[in-house]
Amino acid sequence: MLEIRDLHAAVDGTPILKGISLTVNAGEVHAVMGPNGSGKSTLAQVLAGHPAYEITGGEILYHGENLAEMDAEVRAQQGVFLAFQYPVEIPGVSNAYFLRAAYNAKRKAKGLDEVDPMEFLDLVEEQLKLVDMDPAMLHRSVNAGFSGGEKKRNEILQMAVLTPTLAILDETDSGLDIDALRIVANGVNALKRPDNAAIVVTHYQRLLNYIVPDYVHVLAGGRIVKSGGKELALELEARGYDWLLEAVA
């Protein structure tokens, strides 16, 4: 589904990603870990198509197509979803209106009819339960004044509504209390299907107790310095990153 080959990327002329290769197949969950500033969010933003990041080398194939050539909204319409590390506030725009616009944009791209507000409310009700969110949140402005945890839950709600093919979760577990963590993880698991995949960026092994990864990758200095199975996360938890960084240096 996703094939990243020797990817280099820079922001404001500063090289951040320095040769990343990663293959993600349908049905797989990949965890990406690594120290602060190692380039995890950069990788996520590059995949989603943030204009501030420039691809300086390598390539990204998504279902065999050159992802770099697609506009951000086209990637989204084709099933790439990024749960942001820092979700953005849109004052004055209701969550319900925003969600429906996003849902309809995707439908329209597929040549399907748009759904009206009533239909949409029915549809979203199910997903609200999945993330255990108060329906009143639908009528508040997008993320405006939401607590950190509420913002993260709202990202998962959007993911549930948009049913992505490739979901990239950037530290969705940070700032969540234990219950919220379980709810978010359950949400992610419930959406898992044989034909979709997820890249889960996290600092904490405990999330991986709930969302069990098929592979764990460690990013450091803009490169993947180690890949392994789910037990790698446990090892990192016990030993930290130093031993890996030393090995690379």
Ligand X SMILES: Nc1ncnc2c1ncn2[C@@H]1O[C@H](COP(=O)(O)OP(=O)(O)OP(=O)(O)O)[C@@H](O)[C@H]1O
Binding site for Mg ion (CB under 5 A): 40-41, 85
Residue 247 CA, chain-centre distance (Å), reads: 29
Among 24, 39, 83, 202, binds ligand X (CB under 6 A): 39
Give, for 84, the enclosing helix (H) or strand (E): none
Nearer to ligand X, 88 or 136 (CB): 88
Nearer to other proteins, 87 or 213 (CB): 87
Q: Which of residues 196-235 bind ligand X (CB under 6 A)?
A: none
Among 1, 2, 4, 16, binds ligand X (CB under 6 A): 16
Nearer to ligand X, 84 or 120 (CB): 84
Amino acid at 95: N
Q: How far is the CB of 84 from other proteins (least distance, A)?
A: 7
Helix axes 117-130, 148-162, angle to 10 degrees: 120
Cβ atoms of 135 and 194 within 8 Å: the answer is no
Q: Token pair for residue 84?
A: 């942001």
Q: Token pair for residue 91?
A: 């004052």
| 87 contact, one of ligand X, Mg ion, other proteins, none, CB 5-8 Å limit per kind | other proteins
For the beta carbon of residue 107, count every other beta carbon within 10 angstroms.
14
What angle (nearest 5°) sits at the alpha carbon of residue 127, between those of residues 26 and 107?
65
> CB under 6 A: which stretch of 30-38, 92-100, 119-127, 145-153 binds ligand X?
30-38
Residues of the shown chain interacting with other proteins in the complex, contacts defined by CB under 8 A: 48-52, 71-73, 75-77, 81-82, 84, 87-88, 90-93, 98, 101-102, 105-106, 109, 141-142, 158, 162
Q: Which of residues 40-99 bind ligand X (CB under 6 A)?
A: 40-42, 85
**195, exposed or middle or buried, with CB in 10 Å at 0-12, 13-18, 19+?**
exposed
* Terminal Cα distance for the chain, rounded: 32
Instruction: Give the interface with ligand X as residue ranges (CB under 6 A).
Output: 11-12, 14, 16, 34, 36-42, 85
